[in-house]
A and B are shown apart, each in its own frame.
Chain A
Amino acid sequence: MEKWAQKIAFWFKDQLQLDEDQTEVVAYSVTSFFLLCANLCFLFFVCRLLGVVGEGFTAALTAAALRSVTGGAHLSSPWRCLIFSSLLPASFGYLGKQAGTLLSPGIMAAILFSTLVWALLIVAKYAPAEVKERPIKPEKRGFYRKAGIIVTFAWAVLAGYFLFAGYPAHFLAGSCGFVWQTITLTPLGFTIYSRLSGKK
């Protein structure tokens, strides 16, 4: 994927006489854009197969919202990411659809509360979790941590709405997505992603 992006970036460089920095930005942007589109398409395809488009996208978007401000572990290649980032939210969506209607409101409320407490603890301790490809300046760390806490409270409000407005499947899928994202902030999450990336 990055080779294609480089080729496209060189086309822009030839057309607009860009310098090295600008060409690098174009290559980065093209890679990110392709990755985003491919992820959404593949996620839609898998969720459609399982009949959980709404629930799967709820899980993926919930995790993405927290990830954008807290960072987290990443996989080593776009293809691994494509597979993992589609299968996992789709499975959460499936779980939400199957189990959402079986659990009592009391258990759901307990899930909401325990997820909120867990996420606040993890975000306060580990966020932002940076990777070498995307370093975070020390002076920005406090900002991202506070943003993570705000997103966590915003998630709790929205999840509460989903729960009490009669969308238990979406609530459960979103909660799984949220917990998954908090795990990617922890050393255990980095170990899991490292193993999934084929590293020892």
Chain B
Amino acid sequence: MKRLIAAVLFNLLSVFALATAVSASFISGYQPRLPKSLQ
């Protein structure tokens, strides 16, 4: 069960990361370092 929840959250987080990587910049005033795999 824990693994299933982790897998679902991991997918959601990956989609969120991709969505932020498409834009030219993170919308707030601090930009976390974009991972190489998303550049």
Residues of A within 8 A of B (CB): 2, 11-12, 15-16, 18, 21-22, 24-26, 28-33, 35-36, 39, 64, 67-72, 74-78, 80-82, 84-85, 127-131, 133-137, 144, 147, 193
Contacts and interface: CB of A to CB of B under 8 A. Distances in A.
A174 B16 CA distance: 26
A74 B38 contact: no
Given A16-B6, A29-B14, A71 B29 contact: no
B3 to A, nearest CB: 6
- For the residues of A in contact with B, the DSSP-based class is helix
A128 B23 CA distance: 11
B32 A131 contact: no
B34 A28 contact: yes
A133 to B, nearest CB: 4
Interface in B1-39: 2-3, 6-7, 9-10, 13-14, 16-17, 20, 23-39
B37 A24 contact: yes
Contacts of A64: 27-28
Given A15-B2, A135-B39, A81 B25 contact: no
